[in-house]
Chains A and B, each alone.
Chain A
Amino acid sequence: NAGVTQTPKFRILKIGQSMTLQCTQDMNHNYMYWYRQDPGMGLKLIYYSVGAGITDKGEVPNGYNVSRSTTEDFPLRLELAAPSQTSVYFCASSYSARESNQPQHFGDGTRLSIL
């Protein structure tokens, strides 16, 4: 009953370092999303994917890259970490955004600090 699994749970990076946040889901969902949540704020969409090989930008894509080579995995890449990218990152998946009755399922988040 894994659902959406994110790794790592916590990470501290130095400015300029790079890293990949991993996200995998075992529900055979077509749609996957990456959000960031700054302290006391709502969710901002970074990137999303409607299926393997297809990705699209959300509201705040700058400084990030994604790929979707399989249905299960949707990694988020930070190439040159900046303090402004300190945040909590959530991955989510859904069967479809267009089908009613299909909510998103969220991972537990990755708490990232850049110093």
Chain B
Amino acid sequence: GDSVTQMEGPVTLSEEAFLTINCTYTATGYPSLFWYVQYPGEGLQLLLKATKADDKGSNKGFEATYRKETTSFHLEKGSVQVSDSAVYFCALSTNTGNQFYFGTGTSLTVIP
């Protein structure tokens, strides 16, 4: 079945450090891939997306590339800030189903 496996946290980084959060997927059909961010006490917000192989989604300095050969969609940012502290969810949808599939979330804390 369709699923997303996400790097477990929590992750703690110093400000300006490089961030990678790993995400791999299993999907039937042709998935679209998403990263969502959840700030404390809030709902999930779409951070970026990619809808076909080799697409790169980007937003607010974050990037992720849809890699079909490795079934991956890793989230990266070159220099994190304290304001990036949040929980990050990888997710997918396919053209054959009615649901979205979420990873378990990775908590990121950035310290000054």
Say whether A associates with B: yes
Chain A interface residues toward B at CB < 8 A = 4, 31, 33, 40-43, 45, 48, 50, 56, 58, 90, 92, 94, 97-109
Instruction: Give the tally of cross-chain contacts (CB within 8 A).
Output: 68
CB < 8 Å: which of B45, B52, B97, B102 contacts A98?
B97
Does B43 lie within 8 Å of A41, measured CB to CB?
A: no
Does B98 lie within 8 Å of A100, measured CB to CB?
A: no
Residues of B within 8 A of A40 (CB): 107
CA distance A100 to B49 in the complex (A): 10
CA distance A42 to B105 in the complex (A): 6
CB < 8 Å: which of A43, A50, A108 contacts B102?
A43
Does A98 lie within 8 Å of B98, measured CB to CB?
A: yes
Q: What are the 4 tightest A-B residue pairs by CB atom distance, in nearest-first order?
A: A106-B43, A42-B104, A100-B51, A100-B32
B73 within 8 A of partner (CB): no
26 residue pairs A–B, Cβ–Cβ below 8 Å: A4-B43, A31-B98, A40-B107, A41-B105, A42-B103, A43-B89, A48-B98, A50-B98, A97-B93, A98-B96, A98-B97, A98-B98, A100-B32, A100-B51, A100-B95, A101-B49, A101-B51, A102-B32, A102-B93, A103-B34, A104-B44, A104-B100, A106-B36, A106-B43, A106-B44, A107-B43
How many B residues touch A, CB cutoff 8 Å? 27
Q: How far apart are A49's CB and chain B's nearest CB, in angstroms?
A: 9
B18 within 8 A of partner (CB): no
Residues of B within 8 A of A58 (CB): 99
